[in-house]
Amino acid sequence: MSGKRSRAAWAAALITATVSAAGTFTGTTAQALDGDTAATGASSFTAKIDVGDGVRACSGTLINNQWMLTASSCFADNPAQATSLPAGAPKLKSTATIGRTDLTTATGEVRDITQLIPRTDRDLVLAKLSAPVYGLSFLHPATSAPVAGEALKGAGYGRTKDTWVPDALHSAAFTSTAVEATALGIDGTPVCKGDTGAPVFREKDGRPELAAIATNSWQGGCLGTDPAETRTAAQASWVDDIRSWITQNTASTLSIWNTQMLAKTSTGLYHGMRNSNGDWTSFADVQKVAGTVKDVAYAADAAIKGKNYIFAVGGDGHVYEANRRATGGWEAFRDLTGELGAKAGFTKVAVTSTGPGLALIGIAGGKVYHATQDADEKWSKWGDVTNLLGALDDITQVTTGQTTGGDTQIGVISGTKAYHAIRHSDGTWSKWGHINQAATNIGPVNGMAFAGIGGDLQVVLTNSTGGVKHGIRAADGTWSAFASLNSKLGTDTMISVDAAAVAGEFQTAVVTPNGRIKHTLRHANGKWDATEQVIGSPGTPESIALTGSAG
């Protein structure tokens, strides 16, 4: 890379730390020197850090629901000796206000910082929050290093040209300059006191990713700087090369629960996982480890005790099963025709855990079929659901979920209408119910996904006219009105949707017409997380399947 310099050379050149000390000045919200006050809700991964109740102020970056990255110099006794910061609790009481673009409001979340895990090779520290935060976006570390001349962005709570203590987050535009082993030079919008620890990020595949953490600068043009100082260059610590260190040191806040995602794309079938901190693994090629299913048309998955069962509909209309053991190894795909019975031309399948086993639903020849797998992984033969419940015209989608009491909830789309039925624990069935008539605010439907949480059935619908809605069928059989998720997932006519219950929370994901995967979750308290674009699946995503697993 061009423009490399040693870290020592940087330290000698940029001698002014950008940690903000307490002062008696106050000010109103103002624009940054060359940037703008951030729009409401923008860059909600950015934190305002207070150390020692006003002794210092810094900025930080939320990388998952309980951890931030910021600069060690924010907490060190001597900011110029940041790499000597000891691990453990901060010496002074420290708090983080996250997702509050306008600091005069009560939006976002406030948490104490309880633990620091510093790097010894750069001005960088992991900061643990006292409790997880909800409803805010995360800024995941980049997978590749910045290059000289790259356009980057930033956000921080530091001083501006005319305001000592701004009331608002401000945005920044940078160009990378010198690139070295652990640090990056940036120039553009001045990095002022209070911007230490601020995120420096790039846009990749339609979402931001963290490239570096701002540390120190010349502060040309910042309030309180010598007017003769015009240099705006700054330094930032890389993060793309420490992803494994981050994973290792944030593992203490993980629960046993993971979200499993199966993505069928233009190039194959891929599997990835999201842990309870909100971090995603990379996607692995399922057919590379579980054998090839020719011309996969559709796929679904479910999990029991950490074992992930994957079902694929091949180009021959047969249903195939593979599984990923809790230890990570795979058992190869096998054709289930001999076990389930021959039915002509399956097009879609859906599956749910019943506790000890699985319930599998499929569409073939305009009919809906049902089969079960017991705890010994033995399958029943296909049962004709349509023959039991009545025929529906033009069935295009099927979904299923399990609720307490052993009820298997089944949903289908016929035309642009949504229908629902229940297979009770004793093997009896309810009749089809017309969801469009039972609930309100639905409209024409082109996609539907179920997830059972306790006795409630959580439902997400995609509209054939565009947009996404969410509703609940309570354990007593009553339906809520469906509320729009357009502000979170968009107004496109989605091409795929699925949902899962993970540790008592409702998670859903969609695939947009341009092949992007969007994911969000609803916590048990009814709060929704910020939407995240899931990247890393090779090819163009065409459909997705979700399930939750423990272990």
pLDDT digits (tens, 9 = 90+) for 463-518: 999 999 999 999 999 999 999 999 999 999 999 999 999 999 999 999 999 999 99
Average pLDDT over residues 532-547: 95
CA distance 476 to 166: 51
What pLDDT, on the 0 to 100 scale, is given for residue 12? 33
What pLDDT, on the 0 to 100 scale, is given for residue 30? 28
Residue 321 maps to a domain: yes
Copy the structure tokens of residue 313: 């509909």
pLDDT exceeds cutoff 70 at 346: yes
Co-location of 219 and 103 in the same domain: yes
Co-location of 63 and 175 in the same domain: yes
State the DSSP code for 88.
Answer: B
Co-location of 223 and 333 in the same domain: no
Q: What percent of the chain has pLDDT over 70?
A: 93
pLDDT exceeds cutoff 80 at 7: no
If pLDDT is split at 50, 70 and 90, which confidence band does 302 have?
A: very high
pLDDT exceeds cutoff 60 at 102: yes
Residue 369 maps to a domain: yes
pLDDT exceeds cutoff 70 at 355: yes
Which of 91-100, 229-238, 354-363, 412-421 is predicted least confidently? 229-238
pLDDT digit string (tens) for 427-477? 999 999 999 999 988 999 999 999 999 999 999 999 999 999 999 999 999
**pTM (two decimals):** 0.87
Among residues 201, 217, 249, the one where a domain terminates is 249
Average pLDDT over residues 353-360: 95
Residue 1 maps to a domain: no
CATH number, domain with residue 161: 2.40.10.120
Co-location of 219 and 161 in the same domain: yes
Residue 2 maps to a domain: no
If pLDDT is split at 50, 70 and 90, which confidence band does 163 have?
A: confident
The DSSP line for 122-168 is SS-EEEEESS---S----PBPSS---TT-EEEEEE----SS-SS-SB
pLDDT exceeds cutoff 70 at 35: no
What pLDDT, on the 0 to 100 scale, is given for residue 5? 33
What pLDDT, on the 0 to 100 scale, is given for residue 61? 97
CATH number, domain with residue 347: 2.120.10.80
Among residues 188, 221, 249, the one where a domain terminates is 249
Co-location of 293 and 417 in the same domain: yes
Average pLDDT over residues 22-50: 57
Residue 262 maps to a domain: yes
Q: Return phi, psi of residue 212, to 5°.
A: -165, 170
Asked if residues 26 and 223 have their Cβ atoms less than 8 Å apart, the reply is no
If pLDDT is split at 50, 70 and 90, which confidence band does 379 have?
A: very high
pLDDT exceeds cutoff 80 at 358: yes
If pLDDT is split at 50, 70 and 90, which confidence band does 20 have?
A: low
What pLDDT, on the 0 to 100 scale, is given for residue 39? 66
Copy the structure tokens of residue 73: 């110099």
What pLDDT, on the 0 to 100 scale, is given for residue 542? 97
Co-location of 485 and 398 in the same domain: yes
pLDDT exceeds cutoff 90 at 343: yes
Which residue range(s) make up the domain with 546? Answer: 254-550
Among residues 223, 249, 275, the one where a domain terminates is 249
Co-location of 120 and 269 in the same domain: no
If pLDDT is split at 50, 70 and 90, which confidence band does 411 have?
A: very high
What pLDDT, on the 0 to 100 scale, is given for residue 221? 83
Co-location of 263 and 244 in the same domain: no
Q: Which residues pair with 448 in a beta bridge?
A: 461
If pLDDT is split at 50, 70 and 90, which confidence band does 19 have?
A: low
Co-location of 104 and 208 in the same domain: yes
CA distance 432 to 423: 11
pLDDT exceeds cutoff 60 at 117: yes
Average pLDDT over residues 239-251: 94
What pLDDT, on the 0 to 100 scale, is given for residue 36? 58
Neighbours of 69 (CB within 10 A): 25
If pLDDT is split at 50, 70 and 90, which confidence band does 228 have?
A: confident
Instruction: State the average pLDDT for the chain.
Output: 90
Q: Strands 268-275, 257-265: parallel, antiparallel or unpaired by DSSP?
A: antiparallel
Domain count, the chain: 2
What pLDDT, on the 0 to 100 scale, is given for residue 38? 61
CA distance 31 to 14: 24
Burial bucket for residue 331 (CB in 10 Å: 0-12, 13-18, 19+): middle
Co-location of 367 and 432 in the same domain: yes
Co-location of 175 and 226 in the same domain: yes
Co-location of 40 and 188 in the same domain: yes
